[in-house]
Structure 1
Amino acid sequence: MPRHAVHQYAPLDDTGIAGRFLDFWKPQAAIWIESMACFNLVSETLKRGIATALVNGHMETEQFKRWCRLRPLIAPMLANIDMVAAQTTHDAAQFKILGARHVYRFGNLKYATPAPPHDQRAASTLVSEVGRRPIWLAANTHEGEEEEIAQAHAIAEQRLPGLVTIIAPRQPYRGAAIADTLRFEGFRVARRGAGERLAPDTQIYVIDSMDDLGILYHLVPVVLVGGSLIPKGGHNPLEPAHLGCAVLVGPYMDDFVEPTAELTAAGAVQTVGNAHSLAAALIRLLGDPALARQRGTVARRVAEQEWVALSDLIAALSRLLPTPATTAPAIAARA
């Protein structure tokens, strides 16, 4: 928690309870994140003349349809919101149709994650261990993906001698189980969490620490975005793209449709669906470093364009917030 920040659970969405909550805290500004489904709290906030903003506003198709049916009730509320910062141009259009007047787009805050930090000394150690061997990363993987990734390694290794596959699971606690399973299947596996080094004959290196992602993104030329080979919605493809990696994704990137579409349109992302198509992509990219660098350069360019204009968003919000001389709090709520 930042200094001077206080955590407080949002009240039940009841008119009386919401009113007492606001009267106790006496906020001068209220910021909702993504949704404003708690109508009574929003209504009571507006009644008290409190500056109100919706940041990273998003609306699923079904929600938009429901709100259209309720537009006589929704429109007056949205019209009095001081600022709606929508995730996408599509979201912005939907909020305007529903009656919001002050609609802006600064980008999706989900994509505002800064590049992961990396330890230069640890990176140098890993580089020396890898040597000149071809290497790639499957980042943020989920249960059900590692076996497919290992099979892709077995296929690609026939054309890429000495291939090193790095698996970084989304849940680091799964590292030991992943290593045991892949060893049982006959792979030579090392696990960083157990203090095991990448040996000359290691085929798969399990990195069970999220702190090492920054090192890996700086080291590898090709990254598979985990959570996308199975229906998990994927993860942020702009993270590896921002560091110039050629990006591979599975068919399930539902949570990151817009950046994936941008990267795909630019030729910076390739979609794979199984071990065979993943292996084919690895053989092509790792066998042609110039092609991998070209895709990585394009990916970085798209990522820089898609990166959220945080400074503009902060500047817009600062016009709603109280001056430093005041002591009343500003409340940020996630509906």
Structure 2
Amino acid sequence: MSGPAAPLPVRLYGVAANLIAPLAYRRVRAKLEAQGTPAGRVRERMGRATVARTEGRVVWFHAASVGESLSVLRLIEEMGLQQPDLSFLITSGTATSAQIVGKRLPPRTQHQFAPLDSRRAVARFLDHWRPEAAVFVESELWPNMLRGAKARGLPLALVNARISDRSARNWKRLSATARHLLDHFTLIHCQDARTARHFHDIGLAHAAPGVNLKSLSGALPFDKVELTRLREVIGARPFWLAASTHPGEDEVMIEAHKALLKTLPEALLLLVPRHPERANQIEVQLAEAGLTSARRSTGMALTPDTQCYLADTLGEMGLWYALSPVTCLCGSFAPVGGHNPYEPAHAGSAILHGPLYANFSETYADLAAQNAATEVTDARALAKELTTLLTKPDTLATRRAASRAFAAGQADALHDMAETLSKALSLG
């Protein structure tokens, strides 16, 4: 693969990636098919397109999974409004992202699974799509993909870049490799000042902090008819949402809800696992905790006796945020790094979260400063905060208004970001 002379680790990686591609594809194929991906689409992972390329100029966006993909949809839409001759391709690697993003594609946008990072898969992909430029999201830095795109003269941008302190230490130990890969990008837009500083430390002076794209994604869509129905079913019951739980966090949510029931015996917990395939395990945990539950994916009715509604479906998070006056945003009680707080903020839900949120540290600091989010450390603290919010309507209303105001204040930068990106990619 042509391009700038590569450091030894990059060359070794290239050889290894090409050798193990068949084995990697078998594993990826088994996982995607197990998650319901149509067999015909799985071959996209080897760079074999399953849809025709649109005519004209195509801009390629590549993201890892659901959150990263959703974060750029409004940016794509804005770029399309500014330049009606552009079409867009967004790639990702997971079945969940394909299902969710596929339902929310902006005009003139297609989705494909990303090619595995082998020379042949990347070449097939680029031969078919012939993109005008490429945009990589957050931390999706695949060496063969980057070098293959650059070798064909594509201008490249990295947007919403994020790097943890631990990853930064590793990059510094391999600073020549890091610079080689990241120098492929004409523009490096960082989602926070910490990431920009890390990039500067390894010699990338053009990395610059900017607005977090996840703050520009807007409110998630939802079914308004279903929202009205659920409001009628729940009625006056106090309720709260545990959003995007990971292993180890369900226990915290369950313990907090049991404590809340002592004060509010009619309280309802809406529990949404990050990965719906964990629902069987969570259902057992709820039963062992003595809580009555109903499971959405099986069509079980939510009744006045239901203490926990297990919302194990895909693509309905916007519904749960719009419905719930209070959201405990998980991924923050387990070492995951936190999840996107802008989504519940746009819906006007008061936000609670745990202490582990490195991926959104600056955002949560801003939320806390505006009284739009509160950190709780464990189930006991969570139950105490829930009791306050669900028994004091004025306090809850104030917190919800602060959450909504925070989200609204982030949206002004979308137009400028689209213009900056188009200019950096020489799109006119």
Instruction: Provide TM-score, normalisation by structure 1.
Output: 0.79
Q: CA RMSD in A?
A: 3.6
Going from structure 1 to structure 2, the CA distance change for 1:74 and 1:248 (only over 3 Å counts) comes to closer
Whole-Å separation in 2 of the counterparts to 1:64 and 1:141? 27
Aligned mate of 2:115, from 3, 6, 9: 9
Q: Cα offset for 1:137? A: 0.9
Q: Cα offset for 1:294? A: 0.6
1:234 aligns with 2:347: no
- Any residues of structure 2 matched to 1:1-335 within 5 Å, and which? 3=109, 9=115, 12=118, 29-35=133-139, 50-65=154-169, 81-96=185-200, 98-306=202-410, 309-321=413-425
One-letter amino acid matched to 2:360? F
One-letter amino acid matched to 2:270? I
Going from structure 1 to structure 2, the CA distance change for 1:19 and 1:211 (only over 3 Å counts) comes to closer
Moved more, 314-323 or 184-193: 314-323
Moved more, 97-106 or 181-190: 97-106
Higher relative contact order (CA 8 A, sep 6+): 1
Aligned pair count? 322
Q: Cα offset for 1:284? A: 0.5
Q: Cα offset for 1:303? A: 2.5
One-letter amino acid matched to 1:296? R
Moved more, 41-50 or 112-121: 41-50
Whole-Å separation in 2 of the counterparts to 1:12 and 1:220? 44
Whole-Å separation in 2 of the counterparts to 1:221 and 1:246? 6
Whole-Å separation in 2 of the counterparts to 1:80 and 1:212? 37
Going from structure 1 to structure 2, the CA distance change for 1:281 and 1:9 (only over 3 Å counts) comes to same
Kindly name which structure, 1 or 2, has the bigger radius of gyration based on alpha carbons.
1
List alignment gaps of at least 5 residues for structure 2: 1-89, 91-107
Whole-Å separation in 1 of the counterparts to 2:345 and 2:321? 9
Whole-Å separation in 1 of the counterparts to 2:164 and 2:397? 36
What are the superposed Cα offsets for residues 168-187 of structure 1, whole Å, 9 maximum, x if unpaired?
11122333432333123322
What are the superposed Cα offsets for residues 119-169 of structure 1, whole Å, 9 maximum, x if unpaired?
122111111111111111111112322233222222212222311111111
Going from structure 1 to structure 2, the CA distance change for 1:40 and 1:236 (only over 3 Å counts) comes to closer
Q: Cα offset for 1:282? A: 0.9
Structure holding more helix per residue: 2
Q: Secondary structure at the match of 1:211?
A: coil
Moved more, 286-295 or 36-45: 36-45
List alignment gaps of at least 5 residues for structure 1: 325-335
